[in-house]
Amino acid sequence: MRNIDLKKEKQKITNFIKTYFKNAGFSKGIIGLSGGVDSSLVTYLAVEALEKENVIGVLMPYKTSMDDSFDDGKLVAEKLGIKYIIREITPMVDAYFDTYDQNADRLRKGNMKARTRMCTLYDLAAKEHALVLGTSNKTELLLGYVTQFGDGACALEPLGCFYKSEVWKLAEIMGVPENIIKKTPTADLWEGQTDERELGFSYKDADEILYALYEEKASIEELLSQGFTEEQIQHIISIVNRNRFKQSVPPNPETHTI
């Protein structure tokens, strides 16, 4: 895995946020606070870049959300002294499926929750004249482990240059509460869901393989010599390839060749 100076990177990211907001003509940023390490870290970075009075957190629980998701999101907001808004999304999500498709599977329902949260964020951003800060990291973006136009929608992606392993380390440097850093990563889209169980591998392994393949341009043989299995490597490659369409803006006839 790469060796970077996270303290310097932190300064680089806060400068990026400041400059982006200044050039866009905005002073306020709004963030969906899920209680996870990524959204918590983005909030800490935003407060440092924009000042706490210009950062708004939004907690958007669903009826099956884990209690600690809400509690930890609120903890971050209160610890940093930022304004936070609570928007329960259960009535919005359930109204759709109760009306049109009560037998929808959990993936469809999970994606609807993610998109409902983003619609809520963008509505509040319009009300507050704020920009939406994304909370996805480089690992998730490479794997396409985001809901298109859900958690993948934002004005800027401060953690888009950090692998998940680096997010955890930077969160420690920034003083994110330890219980948030150490909790099991989950998008909390359905009961019992965890990122690593759904993906089929650990973030640590994913980071090592992604970095080696796509930054160091290592061969599969080199990865095999590092102790990874053919199955692990091919599984990650297949996920990247399958979700590559999420990594670019929608194509149009002038920019895309079939």
- What interhelical angle do 164-174 and 203-214 show, nearest 10? 120
What is the chain's pLDDT, residue by residue, as a tens digit (258 residues)? 788 999 999 999 999 999 999 999 999 999 999 999 999 999 999 999 999 999 999 999 999 998 899 999 999 999 999 999 999 999 999 999 999 999 999 999 999 999 999 999 999 999 999 999 999 999 999 999 999 999 999 999 999 999 999 999 999 999 999 999 999 888 777 777 788 888 888 999 999 999 999 999 999 999 999 999 999 999 999 999 999 988 877 777 776 655
Beta-bridge partners for 31: 57
Q: Could you tell me the two tokens for 114?
A: 């993610």
Distance (Å, rounded) from C-alpha 139 to C-alpha 15? 22
For residue 108, how far is the Cα from the chain centroid? 19
Distance (Å, rounded) from C-alpha 136 to C-alpha 133? 10
Of 141, 159, 163, 158, the closest CA to residue 211 belongs to 163
Of 156, 162, 159, the closest CA to residue 132 belongs to 156
**Domain architecture of the chain: domains with CATH:** 6-195 (3.40.50.620)
Q: List, by residue number, the catalytic residues.
A: 38, 140
Distance (Å, rounded) from C-alpha 70 to C-alpha 80? 16
